Chain A
Amino acid sequence: MHKVHQGIATAMTAVGLMLAGLAQAAPNIEGLARTCNNCHGTGGVSVGTSMPSIAGLSEAYLKHIMMEWKSGARASANMTRLIKGYTDEEIAGLAAYYAKLPWTPQPQKVGADILAKGKEATEDQQRPQDGRGQRARRRRVLRRARQVRERA
C-alpha cells in the first residue's frame, strides 16, 4: 500500500508538470469523461434535445471539433470555454473514449396529436405518386413512428 501511495504522489507531481507543459502523464480519461456525462448524458447518450449525444461519433470528428474550439477556430456558445482547460492528450483521449461507445438513438417523447399530424402529412405526400418503392417507404415511416410512440 505504501508503494501505491508513492505512485500517486509521483502521478500528482506529473500532473503539475504536465500543466506547465514540461512532462506528459497518462490522464484519467474515464474520470474526465464522467464530467462530460452531466450535459451529454450517462455514457454520452443525451436525453435532452438541445444537447448532442457524443457516444459513437467518429473519433476524428470529435477530436477535430474539440481542437478547433480550443484554438478558437470554431465558435460555440459554451464549449469553447471548458475545452481550453484540457490538454491535447486529454482531448484525444476523450475523442477515442466516446468513439468506442455505442451510438444509441434516444426516442423523444411526442404527443399523440403531433404523431397523428405527421402520419397525415406523410400519407398526403405519398398518395399521389404511390408506387412500390413509395409504399415500402411509407410502411417504414409508419412502422418507425409506431415504434417511437410505443417506446415513448
Chain B
Amino acid sequence: MSQIDRRTFIKALAAASSASALSLPSLALAKTKAKVVVIGGGYAGATAAKYVKLLDKDIEVTLIEPNQIYVSCPLSNEVVVGHRDIKTLAVGYDGLKKRGVTVLHDLVTGVDRAKKVVSTKGGKKLAYDALVMSPGIDFQYTGIEGYTEALTEQFPHAWKAGPQTLLLKKQLEAMPDGGVFVIVVPKGPFRCPPGPYERASLVANYFQHHGKKKSKVIILDANDSHSKKGLFNQAWAKLYGWEKEGLGTNGMIEWVKGAEGGGVTKLDAKTKTVSSDFVDVKADVLNIIPSHKAGKIAADAGLTGAEGNNFEKGWCKVEPMTMASALDANIYAIGDSCVAGEMPLYGNPNAAFDMPKSAHIAMTQAKVAAAAIVAKLNGLPTPEPYYANTCYSVVGDDYGISVAHLYRVVNGTFKYIPEGSGVSMTTMPDKSPVPAIYRKLEAEYADGWLRNVIADAFG
C-alpha cells in the first residue's frame, strides 16, 4: 500500500506540472534524507507523521510526544456516562514505529526557527527541514473570578480525555437524584464545538437510566448559539422534555445563552455556585470548561497571535495551500492550535469562523501538510489541497447526529463549500419526521468513525 501510494503520488505530482514532468523524475527517485520533526502526538501530529512516511519513506520522521498513550477526546462523553470503556479510546505509538517513525517520548522546550532546531527537556537537539507544529490546545484559567487550575481537581473540565474524564464520571455517579449538573461553556473558539451539548444529552440519558429523573443539566454558555442547535433541540424535545431556552423550564436540559447571562464570570468554590451578571446557579456537579488558546509550545515559538482580527489572537494562522504557518514557511501548524479559514457561524453567514477544532479536520489538515512537505522536499509543485470534516454526536440511545464540512482553496484562500456541507436532516425532504433508522445509523457510524480515525492516525 505505502509503496503504491508513494509511487503514484510522486508520479501524479510530476504530471501536475508539464514543465517539471521531464526534469523531475530523477529527483523524485533520488534518496532524500530530509528530516521532518512533528511536535505533538494527537490526531493531527500522528496523522502527519504517518502520511509523510507513507508518501516518502526516505524522509526521516521524528514525532515528539511526552505521553506513552494517547486518549481520544472524541466520544469520551460516552465514557463519562458509562456507555464506553476508556480503553477503547486509548492508543499507543507502536503503529507509527512500525511504519518507520521515530517516536521520542520527551517534552519540547524550545524551537530555534533560525537554526531550524528543536530542543527537548531530555537534552536532545533535533534539526529539521520541515517542522509540524501540532501541540493542541492549552487552557486559560482567567476570566472566571475565583477559578484556578488547581480547582480542576474539584470541578473537572474533562476536555482533555484521561483522568479528568474519569473524575467527572465519578462525580456524576455520586450525584443524588434531584441534583444539578452544570456545564460552563467558554466563549468560542473551543475544541469540539458540539461537545458540551453532546455531554448534556448523554448526562440526561444517564439520569433516565439510573433513577435520577428529577435531576437537571444546566448549560451556562458564553455564546449565543451553538453547533447543530436545531438537531440538539429536536433530540432534547424528543428524549429529554426540552421546552425552550432559559432557566426554570420543565425539561431535563436547560440552556442559557451568553446574551441572557450564560457567560460565567465568577465562581464560589465553597458553595459550588457560578455567577454571571444575570444569574447565580448552584451546582452539585460543576463541569467548568476553561477557554482555550494554542498550545504553549506554538506560542513560545512565536507562531501565534499573527496580526489580524481578534479571532486570530492566540492561534496559529496558516497558508491555505499547505498549512504552513503564515509566519514561518518551514513550520506547518495543524490541528486545534491553528486558525484556518472562514465559515458561516451557526446560521449567520456573515460571521467569520474558522474550521471547527475537530479530530477529523485536524487529520485532513495533517494530510494536506504531509503532501505539501513531501512535495516541497522533493522539489515538486504543491498538490491541490482538500479539507473535510465529519463530526458525530451521540445524544441518546441509538440516536446520533452529525455535521459535515467541505473546504477548498480558491485563489489562495480557504473556501467553505456549502453544497458539500451540512447537518443531519431535521425532517425528510417532504417534511415528514426522520425515521429512527437514520439516527441509529449515525450512532453506529460514530463508533465506526472512531475506530477508523484511530487506525488511520496511529495504525
Contact = CB atoms under 8 A, between A and B. Distances in A.
A51 B409 contact: no
A39 B452 contact: yes
| Secondary structure of the A contact surface, majority rule | helix
B9 A30 contact: yes
A50 B363 contact: no
Interface in A22-52: 26-32, 34-35, 37-43, 46-51
Interface in A78-112: 78, 81-86, 101
Given A19-B408, A48-B451, A82-B420, A28 B382 contact: no
Contact of A78 (B4, B360, B367, B445): B445
A45 B153 CA distance: 41
A4 B378 CA distance: 13
Nearest to A97: B8
B258 interface: no
A152 interface: no
A114 B298 CA distance: 49
Contacts, number: 157
A47 B412 contact: no
Interface residues of A, number: 44
Q: A19, A51, A77 — which one has the most chain B CB atoms within 10 A of its CB?
A: A77
Interface residues of B, number: 61
Contacts of B412: 12
Nearest to B416: A85
A38 B363 CA distance: 7
B451 A84 contact: no
A38 B406 contact: no
A4 B368 CA distance: 19
B384 A30 contact: no
A117 B455 CA distance: 29
A5 B8 CA distance: 21
Given A50-B445, A50-B448, A28 B420 contact: no
A85 B19 contact: no
B381 A4 contact: yes
A19 B367 CA distance: 23
Contacts of A85: 406, 417, 419-421
Contact of A31 (B381, B386, B451, B452): B386
A50 B447 contact: yes
A8 B411 CA distance: 10
A11 B390 CA distance: 27
A12 B411 contact: yes
Given A15-B410, A19-B410, A51 B382 contact: no
Contacts of B360: 38
Top 10 closest pairs, chain A to chain B, by CB: A85-B420, A48-B448, A50-B448, A48-B451, A51-B448, A50-B444, A85-B406, A28-B384, A35-B388, A7-B17
25 contacts: A3-B19, A7-B18, A12-B409, A19-B415, A28-B386, A32-B386, A37-B367, A38-B360, A38-B449, A39-B449, A42-B459, A43-B1, A43-B5, A46-B452, A47-B455, A48-B447, A48-B452, A49-B451, A50-B445, A77-B441, A77-B442, A78-B404, A78-B424, A82-B404, A101-B4
Interface of A: 1, 3-5, 7-8, 11-13, 15-16, 19, 26-32, 34-35, 37-43, 46-51, 72, 77-78, 81-86, 101
Given A35-B387, A47-B459, 12 more contacts: A7-B16, A8-B321, A11-B16, A16-B410, A28-B16, A29-B12, A30-B5, A30-B383, A39-B448, A41-B452, A50-B445, A72-B429
